[in-house]
A and B are shown apart, each in its own frame.
Chain A
Amino acid sequence: MTTPPRSHATRCAIALAALLAAAAPAWAGDTTPAQQLDRFNAAAGAPGQAERGRVFFGRTHGGEWSCASCHHAPPTRPGQHAGTGKALEPLAPAFNPRAFTDSAKVDKWFRRNCKDVLQRECSAAEKADVMAYLNSLK
């Protein structure tokens, strides 16, 4: 199959559009998954344990959903919102370079999703465990 020749103008426009598109997702990012683990470890006063985080992540806590209901377990592949069906990016940082790179987002989603799963906010120790678990997935 041959591609039709493109004019210089079209090529320039495509290159510029591609450049704009590539630059867009690079705005966020004030932290790293390792820094987030450090933050929760410090707040908890003890290092998070990956195995405890794995168990916490996979079980329901008196309600209908677990973390894995949307993110799957292990969350190394794209998830799907358990209510709406919306596709979600993988949660484990090794499989999604954007995960846990914006501390405001980390706080917002822990707050919201913990309420969905536990009907309360998560403690620093619980977040440290989950963070240790997610960072351990390779």
Chain B
Amino acid sequence: MNRRIAAPLISLNALIALLALTSAPAIADGPLMPLRVPPAYTQECGACHTAYPPALLPARSWQRLMGGLDKHYGTDAALDPKTLAELSGWLQQHAGTTQRVAEEPPQDRITRSAWFERKHRKVEPAVWKLPSVKSAAQCAACHRGADQGRFDDDELITPAGLSAAQRRAWND
């Protein structure tokens, strides 16, 4: 009798633990994505590029980006006012505050940040141009967990199309 009642309770706990594990809040070297991600962020921003963790840009950069979505790096990414307000607020709330991210990168591009360039300095120019990579904005070509905000080295994958020499250099 007791077992029958206990089983669903344990299940619920297990489920909560499971959910907590898959969406842990930002901690050092852990997932960078906030616990709560507005569905509109994934749908609107994430349709064309990686759903970048807000912590990768300072608040001022996000503010400028969200204020000029009709001219968003050559494309019209305008949002309706309600979605714009929701996503702007969320980005401001979770914008990067660490010293590394404090500096506003040129053109407010994450990929032009000093820390980004330093971390990727050993990646050959030819690797960025692989069809499977195409641009530095496509984090998921190498960072398997990018869309969930996970960028740890132990989750790195080799982008498709590396030559044998590039593969050797990559594994170094």
Interface residues of A (CB under 8 A from B): 7-10, 12-14, 16-17, 80-81, 83-87, 111-112, 115-116
Does the CB pair A12–B49 fall under 8 Å?
no
Give 19 A-B contacts (CB < 8 Å), ordered by A residue: A9-B7, A9-B13, A9-B14, A12-B7, A12-B8, A13-B14, A17-B19, A81-B49, A81-B134, A83-B137, A84-B48, A84-B49, A84-B50, A84-B137, A85-B135, A86-B48, A86-B49, A86-B137, A115-B75
* A13 neighbours in B (Cβ, 8 Å): 11, 14-15, 18
Instruction: State how many residues of chain B have any CB contact under 8 Å with chain A.
Output: 27
Interface residues of B (CB under 8 A from A): 7-8, 10-11, 13-15, 18-19, 47-50, 73-77, 131-135, 137-138, 140-141
* B133 neighbours in A (Cβ, 8 Å): 85
Chain A interface SS verdict (over half): helix
Chain B interface SS verdict (over half): loop
Q: Which 3 A-B pairs have the closest CB atoms?
A: A85-B134, A12-B11, A85-B138
Does the CB pair B141–A81 fall under 8 Å?
no
With the chains together, A83 CA to B74 CA distance in Å?
10
Does the CB pair B14–A12 fall under 8 Å?
yes
Does the CB pair A112–B76 fall under 8 Å?
yes
Does the CB pair A17–B15 fall under 8 Å?
yes
Does the CB pair B48–A9 fall under 8 Å?
no
Least Cβ–Cβ distance between A100 and chain B, in angstroms = 15
Residue of A at shortest CB range from B46? A86
* B131 neighbours in A (Cβ, 8 Å): 80
* B11 neighbours in A (Cβ, 8 Å): 8-9, 12-13, 16
With the chains together, A17 CA to B16 CA distance in Å?
10
Least Cβ–Cβ distance between A11 and chain B, in angstroms = 8
10 other A-B residue contacts (CB within 8 Å) besides A12-B11, A84-B50: A7-B10, A9-B10, A9-B14, A13-B18, A14-B18, A81-B134, A83-B48, A85-B137, A85-B141, A112-B77
Least Cβ–Cβ distance between A31 and chain B, in angstroms = 17
* A7 neighbours in B (Cβ, 8 Å): 10
With the chains together, A134 CA to B113 CA distance in Å?
41
Please judge, given known A-B contacts A112-B76, A112-B77, A115-B76, whether A80 and B14 are in contact too, CB under 8 Å: no
